[in-house]
Structure 1
Amino acid sequence: MKKLNFIDLFAGASGMSEGFVKAGYIPVAHIEMNEEACYTIKTRAAYHYLKSKKKLNLYYSYIKKEITREEFYKNFPDEILNAVINIEIDDNSIKDIFKKINPQNQEIDLIIGGPPCQAYSLLGRHQDNIENDPRNKLYIQYGRFLKQYSPRAFVFENVPGLLSANKGQHFKNLKAYFRKLGYEVYHDTLDASDYGVVQARKRIIIVGWKKEADFGFPDFVKTKKKYTVNDAFEDLPELKPGEGYQFINYKNKKNSYLEKFELRNGIDFVTQHISRPHNERDLAIYKTAIQKWNNQAIRLRYPDLPEELKTHKNESSFIDRYKVVNGSGSSHTVVAHIAKDGHYYIHPDEEQCRSISVREAARLQSFPDDFYFEGSRSAAFKQIGNAVPPLMAYAIAKKMKELLWQI
């Protein structure tokens, strides 16, 4: 059977694309407005190209910083790197984007992606201008790609707040618009922890089918066993606050979780195991939070801190801003705010007493260890927090492939 292809819109760091590539799809183009995320996508595209050529040693040299990015990129055909389009999708740019996507007259099987979701988040919904936020209408731009390329199906991802934004009217408008374009539209709320991700992360998945090939909402196969954050962190070397390694050997052999879901997939070192520094007050708060959670399963509330550790008098807002990742279960949802500070993602090991590293955040999102994030530490955290977990995307991709091959 021929390999299915796709276009990834609002691609971010290509977490969703990673799941589809793993399932055997071929990316035609990625469109993303953030420059650092685009470099991440290019580097990952280079990885997949080198893997197909059995020349991954070149990739390993790059992520170890033995060669520069410029030297690394010189090894790839233009079509590999040019398929990543660094531009914001809007009324002014969309025609130019269509010109840059050249599918060589081939049909596009699938369009995937999810517009920026901050406007639909619980925080975003408190904004007074939500109805005027241009991000609310990005589904229209998504639809223009459906109209231009007429794929057999699409997969649209977003936060649960999409369903209730503007009292549900935005979602009604979205469904009506996609149906007008010729698609039967279905949706459900998925939790990433059902697909091998050690994180409680709920997302709305909208699936659209051309009306002549309507399969309804697919039954995505869930994993039978739940794994824990400790399973995901077990082999990573201990770090002190502010300590980090561009690359370092694993602490021990891979366990069943890392092997089953291929997070450790062939290399004998881990990259970007880098933690942020913390001041003495934060470290004292972290220690208190870790002890409360590990010993009593109680979350630290800001008003409960000793007076000498408090930094402000507001004890009614953001009282849970210090949160320990649950080592013996699933993590709470990783979001882009992790780029600002680590207070909401404290490592569960009291001996380490710090916020999680870049690689640990990537593990919580189910990125494989050979996935490299371009840019600064903060840029990497932001890309990870905004991403679709690749393992959840992989479960979606496999089932979609099974159905698309029936058309």
Structure 2
Amino acid sequence: MSMSIASQLARGKLERIAQGHKPRVLELCSGCGGLSMGLKAAGFELAAHVELDREANETYALNFAPEGEDKRAQWSRPRDMVRQNMADLVDDFGLPSSPRDAFDVLAAGLPCQAFARIGRSKLRSVTGDVDAFKNDPRASLYRRFLQIVDETRPLAILIENVPDIMNFGGHNVPEEIASSLASLGYVARYTLLNSAFYGVPQLRERLFIVALDASLGVTPQFPIPTHFMKLPRGYEGTRAVALKHVKREGSHFVPILTPDEALPRSVSVMDALSDLPFISDHLRDTSVIRKRKVQDRMSYREQVALSSYARLMRNWSGFATTGDVSGNVVRLTARDFPIFGRMPRGGDYPVALRIARKMLEERLSQERVRPGPLTQRYIALEKATVPPYNGDKFPNKWWKLDPDAPSRTLTAHLGKDTYSHIHYDGRQKRMISVREAARLQSFPDAFEFAGAMNASFRQIGNAVPPLLGFSVADSLQQTLRQAAACLVLDESIAA
């Protein structure tokens, strides 16, 4: 496509925004809709989305689809961005235009498993191939994304991923994407944003790429932090590894924004969770909570002072709740309940293991005749008391939340194979619930999840925190509105 035709397309889209219409978004790899929630809150129109995971699609449709069974079915249909024809997509979502006219913004949370270091090691262990992450098809989805950019010609582009995508086997993928976008007529920039600096009660560092049609004559900007905290030890080293292949000069990278110490302190775990239901059914009868579904509702806790964050989660525009909330399910292993209760806040797995061995010693001392280490009785007591994981190899497998600080990063495996987020309240003796994970990720309380517990945890862990998405989207919205206003001014002067 010639640059003049591309500029005409951009001008037409900008004129529509200048007339007061919401910018229309196509989101690829949308997941359950974390970024979409942020975009919607910032005033964008969710026009279409593409997502392959069945349960994530069902969640997306549950929260965003227009009224009507046929609409719900269309919005919940799994789609593969590699095979998806854009003209068919426009027809499917009932948009009265061609792919190049239909969308103002193209957004994507491209799968991060091949880029994240934890994902790379998992791929190596499964395949036995040290370079498995390079061969993972998900690692090349960004090339298909660039094709879709050319097929849709949006005014703006927004991509989210893990920081390690900047050091993908020595290759800086975002720099390649930014350079490719430049050849397509866009001005692109990328940087790292930490969700704790934007009102999310979670330390979650992510890479964002923002690109704008060059004809707009503006350079992408990133949101200024709204909250302050001093990052824990280790962040500088992790960042240094990710930034290793970012050139000092001639790069599209924007230096990481540092929050002002005068800003409000980052939202804590206590701020986020204290008013949610008190869950202790499992301590009396695990069968009760095993029968509970993600969709079942429980009342909020009474006589608890609401933080401003809790009020926001209850009263998010278009997603307000009243007296109860869903998602009150937790993973259950009865062996571990007493350990959870004794763990200090901020304690990790080696601490939990020492507690468990002390508990084993207490149980052994209560035996009429103390069993020897190789006896069946000893082995049975040990199995019923002590978790089987190696404390040296898995120090972060367990972690009890610190109520006075933001949470560590939530992962997609939260409900499957880890106690990385144990509730800080020792009386409840459990890991966090689906709703509590959603709160830590900044999903409003009226956002509903389709599927069972593990599927819900996976969707939450894979999502962009809506409040972080909102900060980026709001900055982008302001840029587009200003560009539209300048167009109107130029036309009035010319007239």
Please give the alpha-carbon distance, in whole angstroms, between the structure 1 residues aligned to 2:387 and 2:69: 54
Checking the alignment, whether the CA contact within 8 Å between 2:62 and 2:72 is kept in structure 1 is no
How far did residue 232 of structure 1 move? 1.1
Bigger radius of gyration, 1 or 2? 2
- Going from structure 1 to structure 2, the CA distance change for 1:92 and 1:21 (only over 3 Å counts) comes to closer
Which of these residues, 430, 434, 444, is aligned with residue 354 of structure 1? 430
Q: What secondary structure is seen at the aligned counterpart in 2 of 1:185?
A: strand
How far did residue 405 of structure 1 move? 1.4
Q: What secondary structure is seen at the aligned counterpart in 2 of 1:336?
A: coil
Residue deviations 1:318-350, cap 9 Å, x none? 122111122111000011011304511100000
Which residue in the other structure is 1:149 paired with?
A: 152
1:202 aligns with 2:205: yes
Checking the alignment, whether the CA contact within 8 Å between 2:63 and 2:448 is kept in structure 1 is yes
Q: What secondary structure is seen at the aligned counterpart in 2 of 1:8?
A: strand
Which residue in the other structure is 2:412 paired with?
A: 336
> What code does the residue aligned with 1:271 have?
V
Residue deviations 1:300-327, cap 9 Å, x none? 4166454444444744311221111221
1:174 aligns with 2:177: yes
Residue deviations 1:154-182, cap 9 Å, x none? 11000111111111343443333322322
Residue deviations 1:21-59, cap 9 Å, x none? 11221111011101111111111124xx5xxxxxxxxxx
How far did residue 80 of structure 1 move? 5.9
Q: Which stretch of the first structure deviates more once superposed, 353-362 or 258-267?
A: 258-267
How far did residue 110 of structure 1 move? 0.5
Which of these residues, 292, 312, 336, is aligned with residue 282 of structure 1? 336
Which residue in the other structure is 2:106 paired with?
A: 111
How far did residue 216 of structure 1 move? 2.8
Checking the alignment, whether the CA contact within 8 Å between 2:410 and 2:461 is kept in structure 1 is yes
Please give the alpha-carbon distance, in whole angstroms, between the structure 1 residues aligned to 2:218 and 2:355: 54
How far did residue 107 of structure 1 move? 4.2
1:238 aligns with 2:257: no
Checking the alignment, whether the CA contact within 8 Å between 2:277 and 2:328 is kept in structure 1 is no
> What code does the residue aligned with 1:120 have?
F
> What code does the residue aligned with 1:211 have?
A
Residue deviations 1:370-400, cap 9 Å, x none? 1000011111111111111111111111111
Q: Which stretch of the first structure deviates more once superposed, 90-99 or 318-327?
A: 90-99
Please give the alpha-carbon distance, in whole angstroms, between the structure 2 residues aligned to 1:187 and 1:263: 33
- Going from structure 1 to structure 2, the CA distance change for 1:260 and 1:196 (only over 3 Å counts) comes to farther
Please, what TM-score do these two structures have when normalized by structure 1? 0.85
Please give the alpha-carbon distance, in whole angstroms, between the structure 1 residues aligned to 2:96 and 2:313: 34
Which of these residues, 76, 80, 91, is aligned with residue 88 of structure 1? 80
1:4-403 equivalences under 5 Å are 4-46=23-65, 49=66, 76=68, 78-79=70-71, 81-91=73-83, 96-97=88-89, 100=92, 102-105=94-97, 106-126=101-121, 127=124, 128=130, 129-223=132-226, 224-225=263-264, 226-240=266-280, 241=282, 242=286, 243=289, 246-252=296-302, 255-258=306-309, 261-265=312-316, 266-289=320-343, 291=344, 293=345, 297-301=346-350, 304-307=354-357, 308=382, 309-312=385-388, 314-403=390-479
> What code does the residue aligned with 2:322 have?
D
Please, what TM-score do these two structures have when normalized by structure 2? 0.70
Residue deviations 1:189-229, cap 9 Å, x none? 00111111100011000011112225334131432322211
- Going from structure 1 to structure 2, the CA distance change for 1:214 and 1:329 (only over 3 Å counts) comes to farther
- Going from structure 1 to structure 2, the CA distance change for 1:313 and 1:272 (only over 3 Å counts) comes to closer
1:405 aligns with 2:400: no
- Going from structure 1 to structure 2, the CA distance change for 1:286 and 1:256 (only over 3 Å counts) comes to closer
**Number of equivalent positions:** 375
- Going from structure 1 to structure 2, the CA distance change for 1:199 and 1:259 (only over 3 Å counts) comes to closer
Among the aligned pairs, what percent are the same residue? 28
Q: Which stretch of the first structure deviates more once superposed, 160-169 or 132-141?
A: 160-169
Checking the alignment, whether the CA contact within 8 Å between 1:30 and 1:84 is kept in structure 2 is no
Unmatched runs of 5 consecutive residues or more in structure 1: 50-74
